[in-house]
Amino acid sequence: MKKRFICASLLLAAWGAVQAPAQISLVNPIPQQVNLQSGDLLDAPKAWTLKADAARLNGFAVKALEQSGIATNNKAEFCLTLGVKGDKKVKKYAARIPAHAQGYYLEITPKGAVIAGADEAGLFYGVQTLLGSIAEGKMECATITDWPDVAFRGTVEGFYGTPWSHKARLSQIEFYGRNKMNVYIYGPKDDPYHRDHWREAYPEAEAKRIQELNEHSKQWGVNFYWAIHPGIDIKWTPEDRDALMAKLEKMYNLGIRSFAVFFDDIWGEGTKADKQAELLNYVDDNFIAKHKDVSPLIMCPTEYNRAWANDEKGYLRTLGTKMNKDVQIMWTGNTVVHCIDKESMEWINQRIDRKAYIWWNFPVSDFVRDHILLGPAYGNGLDIAEDLSGFVSNPMEHAEASKISLYGIADYCWNMKAYDEKRDWEKGLQAVLPGNTAALRTFALYNKDLGPNGHGFRREEGDELKPLTEKALAGDVKAVAELMQQCWALKMSADVLLGDKSNPELIRELRPWLLQAKNVAEYGNAVCLMNLIHRTDYADGVITFEGLYNQARSLQEQMYELENSDVRHALQPGIKVATKVLLPTANQLFTKAVDKYNQEKGTQLSNTADYNPYKLTSDVTQLALLPVTVRGNDVNVSPALEVINWQNGGSLLIECDRNITFAGMDFNLGVPDVAKHFKLELYADGQWKTVSLLHYSADDPVIHTGNELGGMSASKLRLTNVSGSEQKVYFKHFKFVKQ
């Protein structure tokens, strides 16, 4: 076999190279206006003399300088002058300060630099620009006039699943400060004191952690918003209104100065627009107005996207007309997961009579937990800055990996017209893993798309491979050999990253997908060789078609077994890598090679490429694409993260590749006393047999099966809504146990 298929030069080419950019282009976000004085690079100062008004020395902008590690020395030749508009030290630069909140003017010369901010936030951002530009030890002379397009920019920790750790949150806040994002909305769905037990005070230890997050945010120029979610069980009574006010006061006493109230993902009493407006007006008038040092209130509505909006009933228009105009209203776009454009902003702003506050559901992956999303942020309009009041991203539960996309989102919100998602993606990879950027880039190329999902939101992945894969599938031998080299590059990148010690938290998050990437790469390599083995220059007698076939079949099963192993993170249903182009191509090449071999040799080898013993189908749209996963003897269907509109007669069907013996089953639709509306059937001995359903108590939402299930053998199970009407339920868990 020729050694050329492991050509190192091609592998390195696939990894790409990171070039050292000019100094100002190290800065994120891209400044609005830059005037370079010359192309010469100077050595960055190792110390500087600091000049600022006394009132400025205790601000968070100066503290950011202290954290940089550059010494302040009154005898240093390089002089750094700081101030905000109105300060004596920057008086002569006042006319150059942009007339925008959070703006700044920065001037860098060989002898010193001046940063003059429109306010303290602008001064802080000017400091971050200076520090970013000298990060590689060099400096270039320039003047920069800069300000943000969007006033409020950042993230909402609003995903379902495992909340971020305290350490991860602290790291996120620092990342936001460095990249000029100024909002962190704390609203994890699985924090019980945010949602399910919203009336109750935080235990002391948890309260101290939130207090620390808030104080840390102040040091990094970030507004820490604490969100409460009362809609799940609120009663529109004075008692519940007072309970909400009491909880807000408790959080204010912890030091919180920014607040949000969520009414998303609920149904029933809590969804009434007039009641929501009445409550939030009361909060706005009696809490926000009372405390003069708090930010404007933010609310997330129940109809938070266009697909769910009922114009005839007028929910959004009721909020727009009845709710105080200084209350900000969040919006996810035309659907739950959607990019934002000019037309969609005009549509929502007309209805809520204010500029919407965008909650962008990317790179969140709580509805596709078997994927990790390492691609660029793109698809939003570059002309909507004037149409929105704020823009926050909902990231993944994998905080460190989310920074790749968040790097670009920070740039997009700051300077939309200059935004280049490809450039920012490359820079984001470098920022997250500077020591192994090339390997991370290769791995990330195969972890961009979400796969088929109920929201229909997809991302480009493997586009650069399509010309090659099309030729390979058409029988081009050279293309097959080149595709094999891409598989080797993926395997090498995964091996390199698994050994990386520079960012252990990132590697911990990526580990399940890194291990699966090795399986996918080895499978692709084996399949490519199966298509080349008939050529004399690839056949050396040691490697045979049958051997490669057995390896490929084994790897198919290994991919499935890894997906259902303890390598997964909590709540993770599987581990999908390269599912848009590379893996489907490998599967097609496998089938093609086996069919040709069977035809030539008269054998009957199986050409099935996708190994999975369980298949789920459903005519309930929101359930149709949920993955089935296995942990030991437990077979689970992943939860859905929204209200399920389960139509009358709609069913969920699970088919097994063989008869299994059932030991038990239970599922949670989030509603007490709902079992009577559903029928469970098992397919055994050629016919459907009904299994009884029950709740153990009147207020228990978990549905259990009757004793007749135990020991029953069947190949299919079906759950059907037989109530005669649509049922609004959740789909919190669904599990059966096999013997």
Parallel/antiparallel/unpaired status of strands 112-117 and 104-108: antiparallel
Residues 141-162: tens digit of each pLDDT: 999 999 999 999 999 999 998 9
Question: What integer pLDDT is reported at residue 7 of this predicted model?
Answer: 43
Q: Are 393 and 155 in contact (CB under 8 A)?
A: yes
Q: Quick one: which of 636, 702, 635, 637 has its CA closest to 666?
A: 702
Dihedral of the alpha carbons of 268, 274, 276, 280, in degrees to the nearest 10: -170
**Total residue count of the chain as it appears in this document:** 739
Share of the chain above pLDDT 70, in %: 96
Q: Write out the E strands in 229-355.
A: 258-262, 298-300, 328-331
* 666 included as an active-site residue: no
- Residue 185 exposed, middle or buried by CB count within 10 Å (0-12, 13-18, 19+): buried
Q: Which of the two residues, 82 and 542, has the higher pLDDT score?
A: 82
**Residue 660 in this model has a pLDDT that exceeds 70:** yes
Question: What integer pLDDT is reported at residue 536 of this predicted model?
Answer: 55
Mean pLDDT calculated for residue range 92-102? 97
Cα–Cα distance list, 29 to 255, 385, 416 (Å)? 29, 15, 10
The lowest-confidence range among 294-303, 372-381, 430-439, 656-665 is 656-665
Amino acid identity at 739: Q
Structure tokens at 170: 């602290």
Alpha carbon distance 224, 185 (integer Å): 6
Question: What integer pLDDT is reported at residue 391 of this predicted model?
Answer: 98
pLDDT-based confidence at residue 71 (cuts at 50, 70, 90): confident
Parallel/antiparallel/unpaired status of strands 628-631 and 678-684: unpaired
Alpha carbon distance 691, 705 (integer Å): 7
Question: What integer pLDDT is reported at residue 612 of this predicted model?
Answer: 80
Residues 551-605: tens digit of each pLDDT: 999 999 999 999 999 999 998 999 999 999 999 999 999 999 999 999 999 999 9
Cα–Cα distance list, 192 to 154, 188, 198, 299 (Å)? 23, 9, 7, 19
Mean pLDDT of the chain, nearest integer: 93
Mean pLDDT calculated for residue range 593-622? 92
Cα–Cα distance list, 238 to 101, 227, 235 (Å)? 39, 21, 9
3-class DSSP state of 253 = helix
Question: What integer pLDDT is reported at residue 69 of this predicted model?
Answer: 85
Amino acid identity at 217: S
Beta bridge partners of 388: 356
SS3 percent helix, strand, coil of the chain, rounded to 5, is: 40, 20, 40
| SS3 per-residue string spanning 274-335 | HHHHHHHHHHHHHHHCCCCCCCCCEEECCCCCHHHCCCCCCHHHHHHHHCCCCCEEEECCCC
pLDDT-based confidence at residue 613 (cuts at 50, 70, 90): confident
Alpha carbon distance 527, 582 (integer Å): 12
Residues 269-307: tens digit of each pLDDT: 999 999 999 999 999 999 999 999 999 999 999 999 999
Catalytic pick among 149, 191, 265, 411: 265
Residues 668-698: tens digit of each pLDDT: 999 999 999 999 999 999 999 999 999 999 8
**Residue 5 in this model has a pLDDT that exceeds 50:** no
Question: What integer pLDDT is reported at residue 544 of this predicted model?
Answer: 92
Q: Which of the two residues, 330 and 536, has the higher pLDDT score?
A: 330
**Residue 242 in this model has a pLDDT that exceeds 80:** yes
Question: What integer pLDDT is reported at residue 539 of this predicted model?
Answer: 56
Question: What integer pLDDT is reported at residue 386 of this predicted model?
Answer: 97
Alpha carbon distance 638, 648 (integer Å): 22
Question: What integer pLDDT is reported at residue 20 of this predicted model?
Answer: 38
Q: What is the pTM of this model?
A: 0.90
Q: Are 672 and 688 in contact (CB under 8 A)?
A: no
Angle at alpha carbon of residue 318, lines to 313 and 319, rounded to 5°: 130
Cα–Cα distance list, 368 to 32, 305, 331, 577, 625 (Å)? 36, 20, 21, 12, 10
Residues 294-344: tens digit of each pLDDT: 999 999 999 999 999 999 999 999 999 999 999 999 999 999 999 999 999
